Amino acid sequence: MKDETALRTRRVEVTDPIATARRYDYTDAFEVRLPAPDPHPPETWLRGGISESPPWARRITSMLGFSEWQVIESGPDVVHLEMSLPLSHVVLVGRKVEPTRRTLTTALTHQRPVLSRLVWALIGPAHRRSARQIVTSSPDRGENPGHHAA
C-alpha cells in the first residue's frame, strides 16, 4: 500500500539568490510541496533534518570536520548557513518559497580542488539523499514524514 503521507521531492534548478550571487564549484537544489502551509521558519526544519541524519552520516561529517554551522541569516522565510572545512566551503540555504513550498540549496567551493572533488564524488550521492530527507523534515512530529524521489 502506498504511503499517503509521503512527500515528493524533486531536484530543481539552482535559482536561490544566495547561491547565484557568486560562482561555486558545485550546486544543487531540492524542492518539496507540502500538503498544508508550514508555520515554521526554515531554520527549524533545516536543523531538525540535519539532526535526523543517519548515524553513519553524522560520523562521516564529524570525520570531515563538520562541527557547527555559522548562521549568516535566519528569518521567517530563509536560513543561510555556512561552514568552512579543510577541503571545501559549504553553503546551505533553506527557503520557504511559498507557504507550501520549501527549497534546500547546497553550494560548495573546493578549497583543495583535486582532493575535494574526489571526496565529493564519493559522498555526493549520500548528500543528495540526505538533502531530500532534510527538505521534508517535519518539526511538528520530530520525524521525517517520508519522501519519494522524482
Give the CATH number of the domain where residue 100 resides: 3.30.530
Decide if 86 is inside a domain.
Answer: yes
Residue 27, pLDDT score: 96
Q: What is the pLDDT of residue 144?
A: 40
Q: Does residue 51 form part of some domain?
A: yes
**What is residue 111's predicted lDDT score, i.e. its pLDDT?**
92
DSSP state of 48: H
DSSP, res 143: B
1 within domain boundaries: no
Give residue 150's pLDDT.
36
Query: Would you write out the chain's pLDDT as a tens digit for each of its 150 residues?
Result: 334 357 899 999 999 999 999 999 999 999 999 999 999 999 999 888 887 777 766 666 665 555 578 899 999 999 999 988 888 999 999 999 999 999 999 999 999 999 999 999 988 998 898 899 899 987 764 444 333 333
User: Which triple of cell numbers denotes residue 14?
Assistant: 539552482
Domain that holds residue 17: 7-149
Number of domains observed in the structure of the chain: 1
Cell of 126: 549520500
Contact between 45 and 138 under an 8 Å Cβ cutoff? The reply is yes
Spatial separation of the C-alpha atoms in residues 73 and 63, rounded to whole Å: 26
The answer to whether residue 144 sits within a structural domain is: yes
pLDDT at 49: 84
Residue 105: predicted pLDDT: 97
* pLDDT for the residue 67: 57
Answer yes or no: is 98 within a domain.
Answer: yes
The count of residues in the chain is 150
